[in-house]
Structure 1
Amino acid sequence: MSDVMHILIVEDMPTDAELCEREVRQVLPISEFRCVETEEDFLNALDAFQPDLILSDYSMPRFDGMTALLLARARTPETPFVILTGSMNEETAVACMKAGAWDYVIKEHIRRLGSAVLVALEQKKVREERRMTAAALQESEERMRDLVFSIADWVWEVDRNCVYTYSSQQGSDLLGVSSEDIIGKTPFDFMPPDEAKKVRAIFSEIMANKAVIKDLENWNIRKSGEKICLLTNGLPVLDKAGNLKGYRGVDKNITERKKIEERLQQSLESLQKATSTTIQVMVSTIEVRDPYTSGHQIRSAGLAVAIAGEMGLPQEKIDGIHLAGSIHDIGKLSIPAEILSKPTKLTKLEFSLIQEHAQQGFEILKNVQSPWPLAEIVRQHHERMDGSGYPRNLKGDDILIEARILAVADTVEAMASHRPYRAGLGIDKALEEIEKQRGILYDEAVADACLRLFREKGYQLDGK
Structure 2
Amino acid sequence: MDQALKILLLEDNVYDAELIERELQKANLHFVTERVDSRDELLAKIPVFKPDLIISDFNMPQLNALEALELLQEHHYKIPFILVTGSQTEEVAVDCIRKGANDYILKYSLTRLPSAIENALKNHEIEKEKFNAETRLKQSEERYRFVVENIKEVIFQTNEDGEFTFLNSAWEKITGYTNLESLQKPLTRFLHPDDRVKVFNLYQQLWHNESVEKRYEVRFEAKNGQELWFEINPQILYDQDNNIIGTFGSLRDITWQKRSEKRLKASLEEKDILLKEVYHRVKNNLQVIASMLSIQNMYLEDERMKKILEDSQNRIFSIALVHQKLYASNDLSSISVEDYFRELVGQIAGLYNDDQVDMALNIENIKLDIDTIMPMGLITNEIITNSFKYAFRGIDSPQIKLNINRNMRNQIVFEIGDNGVGFQEPPDLDRPQSLGMQLINLLGSQLNAELDLKNRNGVVYTFVFTAKNPK
Greater share of residues in strand: 2
Larger radius of gyration: 2
Normalised by the shorter chain, which TM-score bucket? 0.3 to 0.5
Greater share of residues in helix: 1
Higher relative contact order (CA 8 A, sep 6+): 1
Q: What TM-score do you get using the length of structure 1 for normalisation? A: 0.34
Q: What TM-score do you get using the length of structure 2 for normalisation? A: 0.33
